[in-house]
Amino acid sequence: MPPALPADTSLRTQVYDSLRDSLTSGKFVPGQKLTLRFLAKALGVSLMPVREALRRLVAEGAFEMRPNRSVRVPLMTRAKILELRDIRLAIEGLAVEKAAAVATKEQIARVRRIALEIVAARDVGDNVTDRKKIREYHFALYAIAEQPTLLRMIEGLWLQTGPYMNLLYPKFISSSRGPEGRTRLLRALQAHDAAAARREIERDIGDALTFVADLADSAGNIAPASPVAAKRRRAPSKAPATKPRGVPLFQRAERL
């Protein structure tokens, strides 16, 4: 075992991880505005670590900074989703090509194992596990390529599309998305057929994001059916109870 490299324990990193997690698991709603002091209080830290974590997420495109310097979860348009789709096709396509070229039997077996877990989760209708395993499946695949910079970029792209991937459930998932594509992909890996592997992953990503893009309203905006009502409600909305000291929890959009 390697000498156990120290791992980053800075508050900044903990906050970063927490925010990232909240983002991908749908605890933040697109369009939601975030203030430093609110997040700092919610996480029980000072402004400092929140500032740094937030800045990093802005740099990665996970949040956007408005000209007035306030930070919010990006609101997507149809065009933006399609742009991200094409980028993901290019980048993740490249990753599977490289993976296919070098994949070992053990690596392929590991990916297959995760593919089976997806089927299992889907069988029982467990969408949360489903999404988690989908992510695990893709990243196990990309990791095979051993291209650290490429992997980091893919993580950034997933972070940007993340808040919108909830829109795939349950309609898109239940309709016509069986395990066949993944089976074909695994076969391509075994044959070291880079072109075929790319074809499969492109179909996967392309279908999903095209579906999301097609949810755009006539103005081109995509507003996920969200826990936040369409119109801002001035309802009494009880005061934030007591300080939610627990780290990974956030209340949703206290105002749009």
Binding residues (CB under 7 A) for DNA: these are 6, 10-12, 34-38, 45-49, 51-52, 66, 68-71, 255
Residue 111 vs residues 107, 171, 178, 233: alpha-carbon distances, Å: 6, 25, 16, 46
Residues 18, 201, 178, 23: what is their CA dihedral angle, to the nearest 10 degrees? 10
Give residue for tokens 């179909």: 203
86 interacts with its own copies by CB under 8 A: yes
Judged by beta carbon distances under 5 to 8 A according to partner kind, the member of its own copies, DNA, none in contact with residue 243 is none
36 interacts with its own copies by CB under 8 A: no
150 interacts with its own copies by CB under 8 A: yes
Judged by beta carbon distances under 5 to 8 A according to partner kind, the member of its own copies, DNA, none in contact with residue 160 is its own copies
Instruction: Determine the interface stretch with its own copies among 129-137, 147-155, 167-175, 221-229 (rule: CB under 8 A).
Output: 147-155
Element (H, E) at 77: strand 76-77
Scanning residues 196 to 235, which ones bind its own copies (CB under 8 A)? none
Instruction: Report, in Å, the least distance between residue 6 CB and its own copies.
Output: 5
Token pair of 149, please?
């910079």
Among positions 52, 155, 193, 202, the unique one binding its own copies when judged by CB under 8 A: 52
CA angle 108, 129, 148 (to 5 degrees): 45
Judged by beta carbon distances under 5 to 8 A according to partner kind, the member of its own copies, DNA, none in contact with residue 11 is DNA
80 interacts with its own copies by CB under 8 A: yes
Residue 40 vs residues 2, 120, 237: alpha-carbon distances, Å: 35, 39, 21
40 interacts with its own copies by CB under 8 A: no
Contacts of 180 (CB under 8 A, 6+ apart): none
Judged by beta carbon distances under 5 to 8 A according to partner kind, the member of its own copies, DNA, none in contact with residue 109 is none
For residues 101 and 161, give the distance between their C-alpha atoms in angstroms, rounded to a whole number: 27
